[in-house]
Structure 1
Amino acid sequence: MKKNLLLLIFAALVLGACNKDFLDTKPTNAVPDNDVFNTADNVETVINGTWAYMFEEFFTYAVPGYKSIHLTSDAMGSDIAVTQSYGLRDAYAFTEMVDNTKNRVSAYWTIIYKVIDNCNNIIAKVDNAAGDADKKQRLKGQAYALRAYCYLTLASYYQFNRTGAEKAVPIYITPSGATTAGKPKSTIGEVYTQVISDLQNALPLIKNYQRSATQKWKIDLNVVNGLLARAYLQNRQWKDAITYAVAARNGYPLMSGDDYNKGFNDINNGEWIWGHAQTPNQSNASYNFHYLDVSSPASYYQSFMADPYFLNFFDSADVRFRLFDWDTLPNQEGYLRYKKFRFRDPSALVGDLVLMRAAEMYLIEAEAYAQSGDNANGAAALNVLRAARSATLYTGGGQLLDTILVERRKELWGEGFSLSDIIRTGGTVVRKPFLAYNGKDSIINVPTGNGTFVQVPAQGHLTLKQPDGNPFTPYSPYYLFAIPITEIQNNPNLNN
């Protein structure tokens, strides 16, 4: 492994700020440890700056921070028909994330492992800092949880978990430097063991921490419980997934139908357990909305359209159904828009980013019950969510597990779970052309604005097969993210 540069700037400690100018890439030895980690307040600035780097660092316009990993996950799924005008076209076509020379491949790896290294430094050094003992314990717990979040991301996209023995990614749990030797890949089972261990270590350290209502980006007990629910679900530990999903959503009621239609852009939403807030002065991460927001005139890309077949999952009484309409914008006529995401402030191009919601916890609970054979409790958890969305309740028929997995697609569309769910369940991408019964283009009537309509061919998926020409299949190697060429070149132990 080429050494990960610790993103610690002493000037930031002086300024006490957390914005896009906060970060730099000076090497670890540019700032003495006794300056950076000598007080609990300084350590907190380190973790704040690490968070800012994670979400606000721009590699390119196509990689606006960590949240763009979620854009890529959804672009590579079944339910978003990415237009060919801007960004994520190659990810959507499955030609980018398998190419270890691509910028996006390198950027994601760099973001994740730099954050891991910062967390390693905090965990190793915070105990020796001066300051309040409870604060130091809380910061250590948050560093454990953030490191776990990064390894959970790596587990989600870099390997299948079929037996637990598949080689995945290297694990680093101590600070790295110029002489640090690169580590070999650990198994996917070992990665999950590390994730769960870190989160269990975090629990007692932050159990008494109460964040303010305006600081939902800070990791608290609910967030750690939610991450444990995800990790246990992905690692097929159903009982534990249920326990922690129920704990995570405590105090976070499901939002109303009216709130669901407000654009998924406000961290003050009562259902949001975890999110990343944006202001006009700290808004790099809001760039993600340019892909997701397909209805605000100020949105530039407007590239995440819905697969027309996706609409068929919703009944007309569902509050989510009202978010669909056919595009009437020039040069994009015929696409089905799903207007779930909209800039909170279109003039400033600002919108907060959601990271965890109570709805996901109900879905984890429902799936874990169904996987363990308890259909009654699984259906009950599913129906709590469906009732909140005014959707038809599940009363049996069909396969409950399949119904729950479809509900995840409906509820979590655009939040980054598409590809990771396909990878973890052994599922497959499903894309088919949107055609009429006679095999020709489906024709829709698009209003012109003066009371008349123009007929245009409806647009759906444009990439229907893998790059090798074969149909999409379960466990396809095209689903997995590549390790960047620079890591392969600089870490001779990677494949040992």
Structure 2
Amino acid sequence: MKKKIFIGLFSSLVLIGCSEDYLEAKPNEFVTPEQVGEVSEYDPSILNGFLSGVYSTMYTDGVGGTDGDDDFGQKGIDIYTDMLSGDMALSRSAYGWYRNLTRLTATEDFTRTENYVPWRYYYRIIFGANNVIKAQGGNDAQPTTDGGRYALGQAKALRAYGHFYLQQLYANEYIPSDKSIPLKLSSDNNSQPRATSLEVMTQVVKDLEEAIVLLDGFSRPNKTSIDADVAKGLAAYAYAYIGDAASLAKARDYAKDVADNSGYSILSRTEAVGGFNSVDSNSWMWGVDLTTDMGFNLVSWWGQVDLFTYSYQWAGDRKAIDNGLFALINNNDVRKTQFNTSVATTNSRYLLPSNKFYHPGRAEGGQRYIETDIVFMRVEEMYLLYAECAAKTGMELEAKDYLKLVLANRFSNAADYAYIDSLTGQPLLNEIYLQTRVEFWGEGKSYLAMKRNKATISRGSNHLSFQGVPMPYNDPRLTFEIPQAEVLNNPNL
């Protein structure tokens, strides 16, 4: 009877509830870690169900603790960061979403919800991960079953993912001795002081290194789960962000391992304008298969970026590629055709990504309930991250080779990217950074690249504010403030 009771309890669990600021020790929306551990002895699949609840947090609306139409998990944060990087322009604002963010007033006011949404979202992920870790015996546990190892590995990778993004968003730059964000390594004591950036990133790479070992041999049920390749991808990002010589070498090696050995392939020229809408793409390493019965509609990433979905992009809140970045794309590059150029510049649909992200029906405003999928990581990231880290560690020939592997699938004529062979030093790094921005436009990667490469950005003329104003990567306006709720409720901050 006990087994049946617990199975019923977990089948109804949705991991989207949490206390006000991750301060309540045992929020009553969650099954306790002790219960998880107890029931998993009867049925190991229960741990997978609990992890599924954590993963669902990544794409559910309201997980940032608000009822805002910009609050829908990781892809919501991706829009925030793409706009802060300057590569995504809010070229028209009919309903006001993202306006305070693009004005850079929200990031200077800790009472604004834009600061609260990422904070609460990532600490929810961390809270769920810590519950799984505790159920498996704690941070130093050594599970004796494959199921236990794989669950612990996923949880440690999720915890690292949460802390890594918090470090990115709430620290102006990586200065090891600077105070950053609270490290939360247990679900029992949540009022933690701010750790240094060094302490945060040391824990992030520790969790990821352990996750990679624990996930060895894990065959995941679908691409929503983190496997060893995704954990290696996250590790590559973390080490590249730290940026010292030893860390860059580790980032380089992890990225190359995934690019060479994961079995994923670079999108072809045809696929590059194929809609980016299916988790079945062999380029996608990590993503979610969304179906209409999940009920996602207006409040969704697709609603915010897709002209062919019934929501804000269609109705008048336009998100377009920065026209300065667009001008840098070679005319023979297939990625230039991802953006709408068929109308005059005065038309508000100019430079929308209507050939990159679109519902296959291609009826404007036609997709009412979301059935197109979302991507968190694809293999091209590893090719370009390898190229970046190889160039930074003196392996310029190898960097050029991997950069050209991507470009070979974006041009029909190798002569169009033959100039890569002559690049060296900073011009080569600049080119890799540019190609990273172009390749992953709208996918939430430009902000990470901006900080890694210590870039200065300048918005084009199709933005509604700060046109042509240079802003360095560590401008405080490009980084979020620790939200008011945490400041008021965490006495140890």
TM-score by length of 2: 0.84
1:370 counterpart SS class = helix
Deviation at 1:53, TM superposition (A): 2.3
1:14 counterpart residue number: 8
1:288 counterpart residue number: 301
1:230-281 CA distance string (max 9 Å, x none): 1111111221111111222320011111111111111000011111221112
1:43 counterpart residue number: 47
1:275 counterpart SS class = strand
| 1:97 correspondence with 2:104 | no
Alpha-carbon distance between aligned partners in 2 of 1:18 and 1:245, rounded to the nearest angstrom: 38
1:366 counterpart residue number: 387
Alpha-carbon distance between aligned partners in 1 of 2:33 and 2:459, rounded to the nearest angstrom: 52
Alpha-carbon distance between aligned partners in 1 of 2:113 and 2:439, rounded to the nearest angstrom: 31
1:55 equivalent among 50, 54, 59 = 59
2:433 equivalent among 402, 405, 408 = 405
| 1:173 correspondence with 2:185 | yes
1:118 counterpart residue number: 128
Alpha-carbon distance between aligned partners in 2 of 1:186 and 1:476, rounded to the nearest angstrom: 21
1:80 counterpart residue number: 88
Pairwise CA RMSD of aligned residues? Answer: 2.8
- Please, which moves more after superposition, 148-157 or 27-36? 27-36
Alpha-carbon distance between aligned partners in 2 of 1:161 and 1:331, rounded to the nearest angstrom: 37
Alpha-carbon distance between aligned partners in 2 of 1:325 and 1:297, rounded to the nearest angstrom: 16
Amino acid at match of 1:337: L
2:253 counterpart residue number: 243
Alpha-carbon distance between aligned partners in 2 of 1:96 and 1:356, rounded to the nearest angstrom: 28
Deviation at 1:417, TM superposition (A): 1.8
Asked if the contact 1:74/1:416 (under 8 Å) is kept, the reply is yes
Change (3 A) 1:347 1:163: closer
Alpha-carbon distance between aligned partners in 1 of 2:72 and 2:342, rounded to the nearest angstrom: 26
Alpha-carbon distance between aligned partners in 2 of 1:351 and 1:88, rounded to the nearest angstrom: 23
1:383 counterpart residue number: 404
2:463 counterpart residue number: 461
Alpha-carbon distance between aligned partners in 1 of 2:165 and 2:290, rounded to the nearest angstrom: 23
1:472 counterpart residue number: 471
Equivalent residue runs for 1:83-232 within 5 Å: 83-86=92-95, 87-127=97-137, 133-176=145-188, 180=189, 182-212=191-221, 215-232=222-239
Asked if the contact 1:306/1:337 (under 8 Å) is kept, the reply is yes
1:233 counterpart residue number: 240
1:81 counterpart SS class = strand
Asked if the contact 1:326/1:333 (under 8 Å) is kept, the reply is no
1:198 counterpart SS class = helix
| 1:425 correspondence with 2:453 | yes
- Please, which moves more after superposition, 253-262 or 145-154? 253-262
Amino acid at match of 1:211: R
Asked if the contact 2:240/2:452 (under 8 Å) is kept, the reply is no
Alpha-carbon distance between aligned partners in 2 of 1:79 and 1:284, rounded to the nearest angstrom: 26
Asked if the contact 2:456/2:471 (under 8 Å) is kept, the reply is yes
* Long gaps (5+) in structure 2: 362-366
Count the aligned residue pairs: 448
- Please, which moves more after superposition, 344-353 or 218-227? 344-353
Alpha-carbon distance between aligned partners in 2 of 1:463 and 1:479, rounded to the nearest angstrom: 14
1:342 counterpart SS class = coil
* Long gaps (5+) in structure 1: 1-9, 434-459
1:329-372 CA distance string (max 9 Å, x none): 99944632232111356253332111111111011110001111
Alpha-carbon distance between aligned partners in 1 of 2:199 and 2:488, rounded to the nearest angstrom: 24
Alpha-carbon distance between aligned partners in 2 of 1:73 and 1:52, rounded to the nearest angstrom: 21
Amino acid at match of 1:395: D
Change (3 A) 1:384 1:169: same
Report percent identity of matched pairs.
Answer: 27
| 1:325 correspondence with 2:340 | yes
Asked if the contact 1:12/1:22 (under 8 Å) is kept, the reply is no
Alpha-carbon distance between aligned partners in 1 of 2:234 and 2:294, rounded to the nearest angstrom: 26
Deviation at 1:327, TM superposition (A): 6.4
Deviation at 1:108, TM superposition (A): 1.5
Instruction: Name whichever structure is richer in helix by fraction.
Output: 2
Asked if the contact 2:283/2:378 (under 8 Å) is kept, the reply is yes
Deviation at 1:171, TM superposition (A): 0.4
TM-score by length of 1: 0.83
1:262 equivalent among 246, 263, 274 = 274
Deviation at 1:474, TM superposition (A): 4.2
1:429 counterpart SS class = strand
1:168 counterpart SS class = strand
Alpha-carbon distance between aligned partners in 2 of 1:462 and 1:29, rounded to the nearest angstrom: 42
2:375 counterpart SS class = strand
Change (3 A) 1:143 1:489: same
| 1:352 correspondence with 2:364 | no
1:125-170 CA distance string (max 9 Å, x none): 22499x9821011100100000011111112111134431121101
Asked if the contact 1:126/1:136 (under 8 Å) is kept, the reply is yes
2:364 counterpart residue number: none
Asked if the contact 1:13/1:42 (under 8 Å) is kept, the reply is yes
Amino acid at match of 1:199: L
Alpha-carbon distance between aligned partners in 2 of 1:319 and 1:409, rounded to the nearest angstrom: 15
Alpha-carbon distance between aligned partners in 2 of 1:473 and 1:205, rounded to the nearest angstrom: 39
- Please, which moves more after superposition, 29-38 or 332-341? 29-38
Amino acid at match of 1:153: Y
